[in-house]
């Protein structure tokens, strides 16, 4: 754990913060550029395709199991980001998990408000199942809004009577669009990446006049009974810390197998800084072990 | 994960529950007998001794590092239990952690109320340090009341300006003697081992007219800043589930490295049923990896 690495990352994020209150088109362009800074490894094969009618980017890492997949849901406050911009982190997850990754280009708000993103994630999962993959050989992974969308999608699968995947891992999940966690204010000073005013604005774009506490928009308020084993990772320097800890408590109360890992002194979705931040490498390795354990358990 | 194993354990516990409201002498005898049911492996060398003036039982497992130790704090609602009765679980922890275990015979209430137990745990740790062990080569482990005592002792070390150990692992920690968690009522029907009325009575014995929310009696209410990496394990079938999840949230907010593992469908301190319950074996193996990682990191 390097204090110097953490300080450098903090300074970097504070220099060019993502201003979610700014113009959405400029914001989308800035985010794509920022994410492109995480290059795709030379050995990863990227294929653009469609799953269940939804555009996806598939990432194949040499040596991974051909019959196992990570359904990956990117972040961006439901309003920015894309499968293409997420390939860096998604492919690192795929490598650690020993599986192909399919990153879903779910529709974004405000053009396509809730529940479009949930519908697209469910459709892509249906597509994966239709391709012949067993649910026991699929894991869900999502970051930030994609982490909330991951949990919402698992809840939606119950309603549609579809089988759950083998496990789900979420990085800094945003599961409460009402922003009711104490960390929203208590961690504001130490969070170099997110501001409550910005994500509140984008939550409004997503729910578009609907109830932000709806269980499929804010799965912290959904019945989580029957969900597969859940790994929740967060940094302690983020306003969404309480989304992670409350999700862990809520899922545990519902008899879900829960692992919560909080890394001190690191920001929102710090896993994206693997290679330059030791804590990111450790968190990704832990997520990979978690996913592989449950994929393997399904085989046995 | 075996449903049959879980059902058998649930039935066993419901047949002969520990009635914390009963006569204390009878209860202590019953507890010793129950704990003796976990036999000490033939290869473990048990030595009765003293550390810092406090009686301890030391457990040496072949092949473990001679320069590393687990300071073990047994359970029993601060009123029953003993180092001798804890040797089964303590030695299993020692084996997984690759270190010797020293199980502390801290004084019990009502004969010796709070803060006698905390004073004894601190004194035993002082004794370990005085024996030449480096704090980086010591881990704390505690179960139930011993888990709460573990966290309270870490808080006490800060006040006494003693170095923190390398890590701490707590199994079903009891960290809120005011019993304010929602699981106290919400998990009452599924908890085969503990009743709120019983532990509330024993909390009264321990605090003996003092404030049950004192941070050294109920470390959920203490400032946890500066604590070492913390592993918290609990079962979802226990009234103390929210002690575990709230401790995780509270420690994370204080920038402590936190790992929370909640195992569904298993009772209070299910780790004690290693060998007959798969989940217990898995949880102990995970605790061992956690402790070894931090002992090893200290060396590097």
pLDDT confidence of residue A225: 98
For residue B31, give how far its alpha carbon lies from the nearest alpha carbon of chain A (Å): 28
Judged against a pLDDT cut of 80, whether residue B30 lies above it is answered with yes
> Which residue in the set A257, A260, A261 is minimally distant from B264, CB to CB?
A257
Residues of B in contact with A258 (CB under 8 A): 260-262
What digits encode the pLDDT tens for the residues A136-179?
Answer: 999 999 999 999 999 999 999 999 999 999 999 999 999 999 99
Say yes or no for a CB contact (<8 Å) between B262 and A263.
no
- What are the residues of chain B with a beta carbon less than 8 Å away from any beta carbon of chain A? 182-183, 186-187, 234, 236-237, 241-242, 244-246, 248-249, 251-253, 255-265
**Residue B295 contacts residue B140 (beta carbons within 8 Å):** no
Give every residue of chain A whose pLDDT is below 50, as ranges. Answer: 300
Percentage of residues in chain B having pLDDT higher than 70 = 98
Confidence of residue B2 (pLDDT cuts 50, 70, 90): confident
Annotated active-site residue B25? The verdict is: no
**Residue A158 contacts residue A216 (beta carbons within 8 Å):** no
What digits encode the pLDDT tens for the residues B157-175?
Answer: 999 999 999 999 999 999 9
pLDDT confidence of residue A300: 47
Give dist(CA B85, CA A76) in Å, integer: 53
Mean predicted lDDT score pLDDT of chain B: 95
Active site residues of A: 144, 238, 268
pLDDT confidence of residue A299: 54
Confidence of residue B1 (pLDDT cuts 50, 70, 90): low
Measured CA to CA in angstroms, residue A93 lies from A31, A104, A193, A247, B78 at distances of 20, 14, 22, 22, 45
Tokens coding B161: 């300006």
**Which structural domain, as residue segments, surrounds residue B32?**
3-297
Distance from the first to the final alpha carbon of chain A? 36
What digits encode the pLDDT tens for the residues A224-252?
Answer: 999 999 999 999 999 999 999 999 999 99
Question: What pTM was estimated for this model as a whole?
Answer: 0.97
What digits encode the pLDDT tens for the residues B97-154?
Answer: 999 999 999 999 999 999 999 999 999 999 999 999 999 999 999 999 999 999 999 9
The enclosing domain of A102 has a CATH number of 3.40.50.1820
Report, as an integer, the average pLDDT of B253-264: 98
**Residue A20 contacts residue A201 (beta carbons within 8 Å):** yes
Number of domains present in the structure of chain B: 1
For residue B300, give how far its alpha carbon lies from the nearest alpha carbon of chain A (Å): 12
Tokens coding B205: 């014995």
Q: Please give the torsion angle defined by the CA atoms of residues B212, B213, B215 and B221, in that order, rounded to the nearest 10 degrees.
A: 150
pLDDT confidence of residue B284: 98
Report, as an integer, the average pLDDT of B12-29: 89
């Amino acid at each position: 754990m390097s204090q110097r690495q953490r300080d450098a990352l903090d300074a970097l994020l504070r220099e060019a913060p993502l201003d979610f209150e700014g113009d959405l088109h400029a914001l989308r362009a800035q985010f794509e550029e920022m994410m492109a800074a995480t290059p795709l490894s030379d050995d990863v094969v990227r294929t653009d395709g469609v799953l269940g009618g939804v555009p996806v980017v598939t990432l194949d890492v040499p040596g991974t199991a051909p019959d196992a997949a990570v359904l990956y849901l990117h972040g961006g406050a439901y309003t920015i980001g894309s499968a293409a911009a997420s390939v860096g982190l998604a492919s690192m997850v795929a490598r650690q998990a020993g599986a192909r990754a399919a990153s879903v280009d779910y529709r974004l708000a405000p053009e396509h408000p809730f529940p479009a993103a949930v519908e697209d994630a469910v459709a892509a999962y249906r597509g994966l199942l239709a391709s012949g993959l067993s649910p026991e050989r699929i894991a869900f992974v999502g970051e930030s809004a994609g982490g909330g969308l991951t949990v919402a999608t698992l809840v939606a699968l119950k309603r549609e009577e579809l089988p759950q995947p083998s496990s789900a891992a979420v990085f800094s999940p945003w599961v409460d669009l009402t922003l009711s966690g104490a960390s929203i204010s208590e961690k504001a000073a130490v969070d170099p990446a997110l501001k409550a005013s910005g994500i509140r604005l984008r939550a409004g774009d997503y729910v578009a006049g609907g109830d932000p506490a709806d269980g499929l928009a804010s799965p912290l308020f959904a019945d989580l009974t029957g969900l597969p084993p859940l790994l929740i990772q967060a940094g302690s320097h983020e306003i969404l810390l309480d989304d992670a800890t409350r999700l862990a408590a809520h899922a545990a109360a519902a008899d879900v197998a829960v692992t919560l890992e909080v890394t001190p002194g690191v920001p929102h979705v710090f896993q994206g800084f693997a290679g330059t931040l030791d804590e990111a490498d450790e968190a990704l390795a832990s997520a990979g072990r978690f996913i592989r354990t449950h994929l393997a358990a399904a085989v046995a």
